[in-house]
Amino acid sequence: MRIKKKHSIILLVLLLCIPLFAYFHLFAGQIRISFHDFWNSLFNFNDQFSNEIIAREVRIPRLIMGLIAGASLSVVGLLMQTLFNNPLAGPYVLGINSGSSLFVALSIMTGIPFFASDFGVITNALIGAFIFGIIILFFAKMVRSQIALLLVGLMLGSFISAFVSFIQSASNAQELKVFTLWALGSLQKVEFNQIPIILLISITGILGAFLLVKPLNILVLGENEAKLLGINIKRVRILIIIITAILTGLITAFCGPIAFVGLAVPNLVRIIFKTQQHLVLITACILAGALFVMSCDILIQLVEPHFMLPINVLTSMIGAPMVILFILNRLK
């Protein structure tokens, strides 16, 4: 009971931090916008007022996308770490982000109008994430060592990067510029009218993760034990890959690749909560992931008057040292 109370207090603190950080995020930009402008931008929008346009088309979508990206990537990272029984598994390290990036590169630099459309980019990002998720799952069955699987993921990512570089070398200047800007990552590419469909897809994926709480709790014991307890391992794998493809593809399509969120946040949550109860872990990943990405984007907005800092760069700068500390801690 004492442990559950502790978990509840930490989750409550994280939950209370969400509106606080959201407030700072909305008002962190260079242009001062009042609360009244935000209210009007949602319920009484007038496109004659520049502040309302900025609030509706920039600040609010950017905030919502930060919340969605942080929560979705953290949940995906947790699912993959449990599936592969590997704390260093994640969509970025295992090449799923890279697969999504490859298909987006094909979308942007093929010159075919359908693929270059918003629908084409999103579709290809989802397909790329799903295909490379299946590939990683295939290699996970072939290799027994966790280190070997990580090496396969890294080599796969390197191979994809080489292929993307080849595509870039054959593209024209405009296509190359568009892809390069996309690859740096940004929360500012989402339009207000796209938010409902993004919310619907992300919430569906996260709810799917909650439906897998029981098999995930049992998977921690190992696949053989899970089979003995009646868990359909094959179905659980497929469902996790589908959820991973949907959430990773969605975020990659709209924000570009965002590194280390899905790797660092689930490990941090496990260290703080010291539990394998996935109902707690998934909830904590949603809250902590959203706070992590929001914090990064607040910092980006604060330094914007001096220089541009892409979200992918900042999450890598913060997430990579965190992962190194996790590894060193496990080696003790």
pLDDT tens, position by position, 21-66: 999 998 887 788 888 888 888 888 887 888 888 888 889 999 999 9
**Contact between 283 and 14 (Cβ < 8 Å):** no
Per-residue pLDDT, 238: 82
The number of helices, as runs of H, and strands, as runs of E, in the chain is 16, 0
* Higher-confidence position of 161 and 268: 268
255 touches 189 (CB < 8 A): yes
Cβ 294 vs Cβ 22: under 8 Å? yes
Q: Can you spell out the DSSP letters for 78-100?
A: HHHHHHTT-TT--TTTTTHHHHH
SS3 assignment, position 49:
coil
Identity of residue 154: L
Asked if residues 77 and 262 have their Cβ atoms less than 8 Å apart, the reply is yes
Task: Collapse the DSSP code of 191 into the 3-class scheme (helix H, G, I; strand E, B; otherwise coil) and give the result.
Answer: coil
At 168, list the tokens.
């870039």
The rounded distance, in Å, linking the Cα atoms of 325 and 271 is 12
- Lowest mean pLDDT of 110-119, 192-201, 242-251, 287-296, name the range: 110-119
Radius of gyration of the chain (CA): 20
- Is residue 211's pLDDT more than 90? yes
> Given this model, what pLDDT does residue 269 score?
94
Total-model pTM: 0.89
- pLDDT score recorded for residue 330: 66
First to last CA, the chain: 30
Question: What is the DSSP code string of 225-266?
Answer: HHHHTT--HHHHHHHHHHHHHHHHHHHHHHH----SHHHHHH
- Kindly report, residue by residue over 239-294, the tens digit of the pLDDT: 888 888 889 888 988 888 888 899 899 999 998 998 889 999 999 999 999 999 99
Q: Are 183 and 256 in contact (CB under 8 A)?
A: yes
Question: What is the distance, to the nearest Å, from the Cα of residue 25 to the centroid of all Cα atoms in its chain?
Answer: 19
Instruction: Compute the distance between CA of residue 105 and CA of residue 116 in angstroms, rounded to an integer.
Output: 10
Q: Which domains does the chain have, with CATH numbers?
A: 54-331 (1.10.3470.10)
The one-letter amino acid at 237: R
**∠ CA 104-109-112, rounded to 5°:** 100
